Structure formats: structure tokens, C-alpha cells
Amino acid sequence: MSPNTLRAELRAILGENEIAADPTPYQTDQRRRYFSPDTVVALPASVAAVQALVRFCRERGITLTPQGGNTGLVGGSCADGGVILNLSRINRIRRIDLADNAVTVEAGCVLDTLRAAVRDAGRFFPLSLASGGSCQIGGNIACNAGGLNVLRYGTMRDLVLGLEVVLPDGSLVSQLAPLHKNTTGYDLKQLFIGSEGTLGVITAATLKLFALPQSDATAWVGTAGIGDAVRLLALVRDRFGERLSSFELVSRYALELSASFSSLKAPADADWHVLIELTDSLPQQDLGVLLAEVLLENGFDNAVLAQSEQERRELWTLRENISSAQRSLGASIKHDIALPIARVPEFADACGRELAERFAGIKIVLFGHLGDGSLHYNTFLPGHLDNSVYEAEAAINETVYRHVLALDGTIAAEHGIGSLKKHWLPQVRSAEEMALMRAIKQHLDPQNLFNPDKIFI
């Protein structure tokens, strides 16, 4: 069915403003690597409209690709034809249950909008991403997002108490009570978390809330090697336990790019850098002093402790601007990996050495959430500012993932599989696991209409 015919037919079940007049902003990903030709973009304004749309598509065999803020990095919300089901308009915060430390929110709510709303209610929602101003809760759940506070609060999966989902047959499954314990058969909501839109559409969720931090301490520490950073992580975690909310790693090169991009001075001169943040729900005046003591007692004296909220923001700006800063290097081959923390130094050494030997002049931008063993490992090739860099992708991926897998790591930590890694999935999950995933997909979506060609090859 042509997009024009499809658009005309959708008029029968959707309102005028529930079909995007200009679909182009929804039809490519932010990296401009994936495109959605011949798609119609639906913007349903209610869960009932989602159900009607799903039933319509099912009857006609039309594919549906759920889309949130479209900030993903693996092509998961682009589609080759059919309907892009954008959730932006289903975005209310339905209720905040203070006694239960829970919020019920619709899928299209922007992450930072939710964070601000619960903050106004005296609570903290911990998921924190660089894309927080545009990514949406539904997408965060569908991709099991991670980010800056996983070390303390877990990934999105750990924050979900209940889901409301429209299944591929158009029926609604809803478990939105703020229950912190519920063991009634298999925990099916877990299947939808991280399923990247292949099993249905998440329309709302009940999420955990936490006490607002009342005090914090933030330090930037230069270290000679990643091994020292791993050692410092153990020291800080042993001393501060649950107060350690972020422990980020930044390479010298990543810091140089970000400092230049941000017009800020590098806080330290070192090959490796760590950004540490402690938070506490009690007003603890001495957190910074205690952190400085641990650093100095253990020889980490190439360090800066933020003395004001502005200094704290500047340190975080250096960390958060790495992604934007690296764009000056052109297109990149990105790897969103995780490793056992103890093996991160070994990985960086061995993989970096092999890449340098095989790809002359290769630049590696390494940064990420060392506290979770989760790294962004982005590679740039000289003379390839445009998408021609992707010609080397298979060979670079093979190298990086071989090192990752040899050290018991994972090739997808917090961005998902999408289109980008689907050819790799059968190599990292067993035949039995792939068969069970396919059986679940087949049961829920026998026509393979929901986000087809994602996750599975």
C-alpha cells in the first residue's frame, strides 16, 4: 500500500491531527544513518486510538514501528515502510503515589519532564541520560535505558513496577498498581522491557521513586591508567557504599575534545580521568571532605573537588558534551559494551593495541560508566568524515567484539540491538535462547508486524 493510500485509509480511524502532516522529522535517526522511506507517521492521542490503529494494521498486514523521542543509536525506531507509531502525544503523568513512592506516567512523557514533575512533588526519579530533554519514558523502557546513575539505582528495568501494553492483537494488558511485590506467575512485563517495540506498544508505566538527594560531592580525578581508576572505584565504593551514584571514566582524548567543544579548561592533566559523584538524602556537610580524604590518603592527588554548584555543573558538562564534541571527527563506528569491571583495563589495552596496528591512524574515543563496567568505545578513521567510515565497520566490530566476548563482556550494554547489531545477536545468545525469543515473538506477533527486522535477522 502506498503511503498516500495508507494515509487516506488511516483517516477513517484517526483524527486529522493524529497523522503527521510533515513526517520527515520522524523518518531518520539523529545520526542520519537510518531512514524510513515510504512510511506514514501516526501520532495517536489516546490509548484507544493506539488500539484502533493496531487492529487496523493487523487486519491489513501493515507493519508498525513504535517510536518515542527517536534518540536511539541502533536504528530501532526507523522502518522500511508501514506505520511509524510515535507516542509523543500520549504523555500525561497520570498520578504520583507519594505513600508508595511511585509515579504512573504515559509512554510519550519526556524523561526530563517526568524528573522535574516528581521533583516538584518532593521525589527523585533517577534515570539520567544525556538525551533526557527529548527521549521518552516508553522508549527508555523499550530499550532498558541505563545512563549516569545505574551504579546506585539500576537500569530502567529496575525502576519499573508495572506496565500498560497494547499487544499486537490490539488487546490491552495493564498492571499499573504501585505494588512493590507481586509474584503471580511469570513476570511478563520483563519481556516488554528491552524488547525494542517488537512485542507490542508500551503506553504507560508505573515507576519507582526515591528520596531527593539533599547533599552531594563531585570530584574530577586524573589517573595514570585505567587500572588506577578501577582501584579508585573499589576504594570509593568500600568507603561510601550506597552514596556513590556516578563513577564515570573519560580518556585523555575524549576530555580534550570535550574541553575544546565546551570552552572549558581540563580539570587535570592525565591519560585517564574519573568523574565521581556522591549523593545523600540527608544534609551531610562533610561529604566532600570525606571524599577528599579518601583521594589524598590513597595518592589520588591530581584531583579537583567542586566547590560550588557552578563548578559541579562544569565538571558534568565536560562529561556530557563528549558525545556532541566527537561529531567534529565525523561519522564514527560506535560500540556500546560492558565488561566485568576488573577486566576493563585488559580490554582497553589489548583492543586498542590491535586496532592501532590494523587501522592506521584510528582514533578511539573511550568514555562511559566505569562503575557499571559499561563503556562507549567509539572509533574514527582519518580521512573518513562521512558515512564511508562504515566500510570498515565489519572489520572493526569483529575486532572489538572478539575482545569483549573473550573477556566475558556484552556487545550491547544500554542501547539495545535494533538494526545495527541484529547480525551479532545469534553469536552472543545460544540456539536455545534464540529459539525461546522467537517463540515468544511468534506467539505475540504471528504476522511479524511489530518492528519487523529488528533484533532478529
Residues 333-362 that bind a second copy (CB under 8 A): 338-342
Among 4, 24, 184, 285, binds a second copy (CB under 8 A): 184
The total number of residues shown for the chain amounts to 457
Q: CB of 435: closest distance to a second copy in angstroms?
A: 8
Q: CB of 436: closest distance to a second copy in angstroms?
A: 6
Identify which of residues 363 and 415 has a Cβ nearer to a second copy in the complex: 415
Identify which of residues 71 and 144 has a Cβ nearer to a second copy in the complex: 144
Residue 432 exposure: Cα atoms within 13 Å on the Cβ side:
0
Q: CA-CA-CA-CA torsion for 49, 54, 60, 61, nearest 10 degrees?
A: 160
No. of helices (H) and no. of strands (E), the chain:
16, 17
Strands across the sheet containing 336-338: 303-305, 215-223, 272-280, 244-251, 363-369, 374-380, 336-338
Residues 154-173 that bind a second copy (CB under 8 A): 154-155, 157-158, 167, 169, 171, 173
Rounded CA-CA distance 133/113 in Å is: 8
Identify which of residues 331 and 375 has a Cβ nearer to a second copy in the complex: 375
Q: CB of 347: closest distance to a second copy in angstroms?
A: 13
121 binds a second copy (CB under 8 A): no
Cell 497520570 sits on residue: 94
403 binds a second copy (CB under 8 A): no
Contacts (Cβ under 8 Å, ≥6 apart) of 304: 219, 220, 221, 267, 268, 311, 315
Q: CA-CA-CA-CA torsion for 414, 415, 419, 422, nearest 10 degrees?
A: -10
Query: Based on C-alpha coordinates, what's the Rg of the chain?
Result: 23
Contact 85, 42 (CB under 8 A): yes
297 binds a second copy (CB under 8 A): no
187 binds a second copy (CB under 8 A): yes
Identify which of residues 41 and 337 has a Cβ nearer to a second copy in the complex: 337
Q: CB of 359: closest distance to a second copy in angstroms?
A: 26
Rounded CA-CA distance 394/397 in Å is: 5
Among 16, 185, 310, 361, binds a second copy (CB under 8 A): 185
Binding segment (CB under 8 A) for a second copy, from list 36-44, 308-316, 320-328, 434-442 = 434-442
Identify which of residues 63 and 104 has a Cβ nearer to a second copy in the complex: 104
What binding mask, one character per residue, do residues 202-241 give for a second copy by CB under 8 A, x or -?
--------xxx-----------------x--xx--xxxxx
SS3 assignment, position 322 = helix
Rounded CA-CA distance 73/31 in Å is: 7
Q: 417 vs 148, 200, 301, 437, CA distance in Å? A: 20, 17, 40, 13
SS3 assignment, position 20 = coil
Identify which of residues 98 and 224 has a Cβ nearer to a second copy in the complex: 98
Q: Which amino acid is at 17?
A: N
Q: CB of 20: closest distance to a second copy in angstroms?
A: 29
Identify which of residues 256 and 280 has a Cβ nearer to a second copy in the complex: 280
Residues 235-254 that bind a second copy (CB under 8 A): 237-243
Binding segment (CB under 8 A) for a second copy, from list 24-32, 37-45, 251-259, 404-412 = 404-412
Identify which of residues 98 and 395 has a Cβ nearer to a second copy in the complex: 98
SS3 assignment, position 445 = coil
Q: Which of 97, 102, 85, 88 is nearest to 162 (CA)?
A: 102
Among 437, 445, 449, 452, binds a second copy (CB under 8 A): 437
Binding segment (CB under 8 A) for a second copy, from list 14-22, 57-65, 177-185, 323-331 = 177-185
Rounded CA-CA distance 392/389 in Å is: 6
Q: CB of 62: closest distance to a second copy in angstroms?
A: 21
What binding mask, one character per residue, do residues 8-47 give for a second copy by CB under 8 A, x or -?
----------------------------------------
Identify which of residues 38 and 433 has a Cβ nearer to a second copy in the complex: 433
Identify which of residues 45 and 176 has a Cβ nearer to a second copy in the complex: 176
Q: Residues touching a second copy: how many (CB under 8 A)?
A: 88
Rounded CA-CA distance 166/161 in Å is: 17
